[in-house]
Amino acid sequence: MLRRYFLIVAMLGFAILGKAQSYSYDEVLKKAEKSLKHILPEHLLPFAKLYYTPYYSSEGGEQQYFLLEKGKNTEGKLVRVMLRYHLKMKYSACTAYDSIETVIEMELDNHLKLLNAKGLDVVPEFVIKNLPCNLLTRKQALALVKKRNIEAQEADFQIEYDPFEKRFQYYLTGDVIKAANNPEASTVESMIIDAATGEILEDTFK
């Protein structure tokens, strides 16, 4: 009798544990958005929108992946949940770099705690801190180029943020130059300007 009692208790325990690892779509989003508030400043939160359907992995004979659709629950022994948020906004405090866009990839563990988040490295620090930037405008970059008698327009300049160097750079490309000894080979005239200092980092214009 006692053995049967312990067997019933053990079975109930396993049932409760199994149920505890099942989460609804709404529960997952609520936890994910709570984690999002820890990694994004308040002024950026309204611009982060869920991007694609979340998916999760669970254990079976081998680890499997499933979409977590609205109105559904996770099934099986949960391992982790993956979500993507699309962050896209106009940043009026910096006319030189006023378009911010990235995809934030979040990974939650089997208790819906944040494991890691990727994609924020491409968001400049002044945007995170909601500060104006100190970058050259396209007009100022054009003035530097014209000193070298290079024909260009403001629209020819593309500005990019290098997250590894943590540096903004203006790119200007010109004509395609064919190699005299090899008609199949060619190079493109280009110039790279540090958008903060005006230093010319690369120049292949002749």
* Judgement on whether residues 124 and 142 belong to the same structural domain of the protein: no
Rounded Cα gap, residues 34 and 28, in angstroms: 10
Point out the domain boundary residue: 73, 101, 128: 128
Give strand pairing partners of 160.
169
* Judgement on whether residues 35 and 109 belong to the same structural domain of the protein: yes
pLDDT score, position 163? 87
Q: Across 2-6, 86-90, 119-123, 146-150, which has the greatest mean pLDDT?
A: 86-90
Point out the domain boundary residue: 97, 128, 159: 128
State the residue range of the domain holding 180: 138-203
Q: Across 15-24, 84-93, 166-175, which has the greatest mean pLDDT?
A: 84-93
Six-digit token string for 12 = 């109930």
Q: Is the residue at 3 inside a domain?
A: no
* Judgement on whether residues 44 and 108 belong to the same structural domain of the protein: yes
Q: Is the residue at 92 inside a domain?
A: yes
* Judgement on whether residues 90 and 111 belong to the same structural domain of the protein: yes
Q: Which secondary-structure segment (H or E) carries 29?
A: helix 25-39
* pLDDT tens digits for range 131-176: 999 999 999 998 988 888 888 888 888 999 988 888 999 998 876 4
Q: Is the residue at 113 inside a domain?
A: yes
* Judgement on whether residues 146 and 97 belong to the same structural domain of the protein: no
* Judgement on whether residues 46 and 95 belong to the same structural domain of the protein: yes
pTM: 0.78
pLDDT score, position 184? 56
- In this structure, are residues 21 and 13 in contact, taking their beta carbons and an 8 Å threshold? no
* Judgement on whether residues 151 and 72 belong to the same structural domain of the protein: no
Six-digit token string for 83 = 């979500």
* Judgement on whether residues 154 and 100 belong to the same structural domain of the protein: no
Per the structure, the count of domains in the chain is 2
In this predicted structure, the answer to whether residue 198 has a pLDDT above a threshold of 50 is: yes
In the chain, the amino acid numbered 58 is S
